[in-house]
């Protein structure tokens, strides 16, 4: 299989690097294109992949095409690659809010489309991706898509109807954790710590908590209770979080992200 990557920005680059580093594909089987020629040159040079001369050239040369452009760039890219995507091409899109049917309509009935929602921890090989298959996609196509995204973390297969919720949860999710870290750092600074010390304490605590949550089958609630002794400091913090409705605020934010993903899917 040869894979062409259209758009070598944050996500495109992360996926190319993940696949090359994990040796899941030979770099000679990866083809890249991006309108930013300096960016493209750097990625081609550092990963040893092949450079295309346009989106259409890439599509003609690759068996599978990964669309890693912004949703608003998608219509133009689909128009450009259509002549090369007619004969049963596998097209994998990571664009938020672009449904499979829209890509299939733009490329014609021959294209087999897989839609994926990855996230930015893919940049360090710790990504989480939800994968949905469109009409005509084979088990082999899905295995191939999993191989790409598992090179940059984990992947699960989901029905497309879940995609907006997955976007709200794991697509946008890293930003929620960063926000929590920002707020904790600010609190530490207000309590008299240096910013540098607060940042180090918070980042290491976040990494440790994530590692502990991943180490076993216990739900996060149980791990939280292990930290919360009766009459202790954590309990004092949670009394305030509960009183001010922190869980309800988080839920409302995640619901808003899901609503926005739905609007984007409808082209609004
Ligand atoms: N970032 C995230 O957290 C995240 C998470 C999940 C899914 N996604 C999805 O991943 C996709 C890419 O996001 P990103 O953060 O990687 O964006 P990005 O960094 O802006 O990368 C997009 C790349 O595509 C290039 N491009 C623009 N027009 C093009 C064209 N006609 N043909 C080929 N390449 C073109 C851009 O070049 P210019 O910069 O010159 O325009 C840029 O290098 C988006 O659809 C997004 O919804 C992102």
User: Helix 100-107 vs helix 74-81: angle between axes, to the nearest 10 degrees?
Assistant: 40
- Choose one of 131, 162, 193: the last residue of a domain: 162
CA 43, CA 47: separation in Å to the nearest integer? 6
Other C-beta atoms within 10 Å of 32: how many? 26
pLDDT at 116 over 90: yes
Write the DSSP symbol of residue 123.
G
pLDDT tens, 21-40? 888 899 999 999 999 999 99
Q: Say yes or no: CB of residue 129 within 6 Å of ligand 1.
A: no
Contacts of 43 (CB under 8 A, 6+ apart): 8, 13, 16, 32, 34, 49
pLDDT (0 to 100) of residue 40: 97
Q: How many domains is the chain partitioned into structurally?
A: 2
Please indicate, yes or no, whether residues 95 and 145 belong to a single structural domain of this protein: yes
pLDDT (0 to 100) of residue 210: 97
Q: What does the pLDDT average to over 6-26?
A: 92
CA 186, CA 180: separation in Å to the nearest integer? 10
pLDDT tens, 28-75? 999 999 999 999 999 999 999 999 999 999 999 999 999 999 999 999
Residue located via tokens 């990855």 = 118
Smallest CA-to-CA distance from 52 within 77, 25, 31 is with 31
Contacts of 72 (CB under 8 A, 6+ apart): none
pLDDT at 86 over 90: no
The structure's pTM equals 0.92
pLDDT at 87 over 80: no
CA 133, CA 114: separation in Å to the nearest integer? 5
Q: Say yes or no: CB of residue 6 within 6 Å of ligand 1.
A: yes
Please indicate, yes or no, whether residues 201 and 85 belong to a single structural domain of this protein: no
CA 50, CA 28: separation in Å to the nearest integer? 6
User: How much distance in Å is there from the Cα of 250 to the middle of ligand 1?
Assistant: 27
Please indicate, yes or no, whether residues 79 and 189 belong to a single structural domain of this protein: no
Residue 249 tokens read as 């605020």
Q: Angle at Cα 200 formed by Cα 198 and Cα 204, nearest 5°?
A: 120
Residue 179 tokens read as 């926000």
Q: Say yes or no: CB of residue 120 within 6 Å of ligand 1.
A: yes
Tell me the pLDDT of the chain averaged across its residues.
95
The CATH number of whichever domain residue 224 belongs to comes to 1.10.3730.10
SS3 content of the chain, % helix, strand, coil (to 5): 60, 15, 25
Confidence class for position 131, pLDDT limits 50, 70, 90: very high
Q: What does the pLDDT average to over 232-236?
A: 96
Residue nearest to atom 18 of ligand 1 (CA): 9
Ligand 1: which atom is nearest the Cα of residue 97?
47
Please indicate, yes or no, whether residues 42 and 143 belong to a single structural domain of this protein: yes
Q: What is the residue range of 206's domain? A: 171-265
User: How much distance in Å is there from the Cα of 95 to the middle of ligand 1?
Assistant: 8
User: How much distance in Å is there from the Cα of 8 to the middle of ligand 1?
Assistant: 7
- Choose one of 145, 162, 179: the last residue of a domain: 162
Please indicate, yes or no, whether residues 180 and 247 belong to a single structural domain of this protein: yes
CA 158, CA 198: separation in Å to the nearest integer? 38
User: How much distance in Å is there from the Cα of 137 to the middle of ligand 1?
Assistant: 24
Please indicate, yes or no, whether residues 68 and 176 belong to a single structural domain of this protein: no
pLDDT at 11 over 80: yes
Q: What does the pLDDT average to over 180-185?
A: 98
pLDDT at 163 over 80: yes
């Amino acid at each position: 299989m040869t894979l062409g990557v259209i758009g070598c920005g944050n996500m495109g680059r992360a996926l190319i690097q993940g696949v090359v580093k994990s040796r899941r594909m030979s770099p000679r089987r990866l083809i890249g294109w991006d309108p930013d020629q300096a960016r493209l040159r750097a990625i081609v040079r550092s990963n040893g992949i092949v450079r295309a001369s346009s989106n259409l050239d890439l599509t003609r040369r690759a068996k599978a095409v990964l669309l890693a452009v912004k949703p608003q760039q998608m219509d133009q890219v689909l128009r450009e690659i259509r002549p090369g995507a007619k004969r049963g091409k596998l097209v994998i899109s990571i664009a938020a809010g672009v449904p499979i049917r829209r890509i299939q309509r733009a490329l014609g009935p021959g294209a087999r489309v897989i839609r994926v929602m990855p996230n930015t921890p893919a940049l360090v090989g710790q990504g989480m991706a939800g994968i949905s298959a469109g009409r005509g996609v084979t088990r082999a196509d899905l295995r191939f898509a999993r191989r790409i995204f598992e090179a940059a973390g984990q992947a699960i297969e989901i029905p497309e109807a879940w995609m907006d919720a997955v976007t709200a949860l794991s697509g946008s999710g890293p930003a929620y954790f960063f926000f929590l870290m920002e707020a904790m750092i600010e609190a530490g600074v207000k309590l008299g710590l240096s910013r540098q010390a607060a940042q180090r304490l918070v980042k290491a605590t976040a990494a440790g908590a994530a590692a502990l949550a991943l180490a076993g089958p216990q739900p996060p609630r149980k791990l939280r209770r292990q930290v919360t002794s009766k009459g202790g400091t954590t309990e004092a913090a949670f009394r305030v979080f509960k009183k001010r409705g922190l869980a309800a605020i988080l839920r409302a934010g995640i619901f808003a992200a899901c609503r926005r993903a739905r609007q984007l899917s409808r082209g609004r």
